[in-house]
Amino acid sequence: MPALFPVWSDTALRITLGVLGLAIPGVFVVPIVYVRTPYNLNRHFDVMQPVQFDHRHHVKDDGIKCLYCHDGADRVAYAGVPSTQVCMGCHSQVWNQSPMLEPVRRSYFSGQPIPWNRVHLVPDFVFFNHAVHVKNGIECAHCHGDVTAMPIARKERMFTMGWCLDCHSRQPDRYAAAPRLAALVPGKLPGDAKTPLGHVEPVPHLMTCTTCHR
């Protein structure tokens, strides 16, 4: 009687089992790992802008306050990006010949806003409000890192649900105490040296789903 299966079937079976052995956990592991990668979170990738606006010059060197340009942050939901008029308030006088400011002048004279690209964006189904946070004494750097040191505004935090929840209840000072942030914000060490940014009280009543998903 001939063999029921050919000789190679044994090898084929092993290879198939091997592939399945990797593929089945892979179906779960790959997406779990992927969602946490900087690729998916769009974190630490520079977003190209129509004008090379540099926060370091404006905030550090020229001492302009964040709220001068992002004037919604302590009043309404959106911090907002300044209008061309705000730029031209200075740049019709200073550096008014700079080629780097050509798109700003074009926008001013044509009335077309500068098409800034968004760096931070939470999905539509998430409700976020700047004013509530800023009025409760949470500094911009808590959530955005040290923008004053960034040549290009970029994402310093993963704006995941876990991150929001961490601050609302689980461990509000987790990021404030992160050594990396301490290094980013030199000289900002009030009282407790482990928390370079102000201490935040947990807000456990803001853990219900409808706080953020309405």
Beta carbon nearer to ligand HEC, 144 or 181: 144
Output the smallest distance, CB 183 to ligand HEC, in A.
Answer: 17
Q: Does 165 bind ligand HEC (CB under 6 A)?
A: yes
Member of 138, 181, 195, 196 binding ligand HEC (CB under 6 A)? 138
Output the smallest distance, CB 196 to ligand HEC, in A.
Answer: 13
Q: What angle do CA 17, 18, 19 make, to 5 degrees?
A: 95
Q: Which of residues 172-191 bind ligand HEC (CB under 6 A)?
A: 172
Q: Which of residues 76-95 bind ligand HEC (CB under 6 A)?
A: 78-82, 86-87, 89-91, 94-95
Member of 17, 126, 183, 189 binding ligand HEC (CB under 6 A)? 126
Identify the CA nearest to 166 among candidates 126, 117, 214, 203. 203
> d(Cα 90, Cα 77) in Å, to the nearest integer?
27
142-145 contacts: CB < 8 A, separation 24 or more? 142/167, 142/175, 142/176, 142/197, 142/200, 144/120, 145/181, 145/184
Output the smallest distance, CB 5 to ligand HEC, in A.
Answer: 46
The two tokens of residue 21 are 């052995």
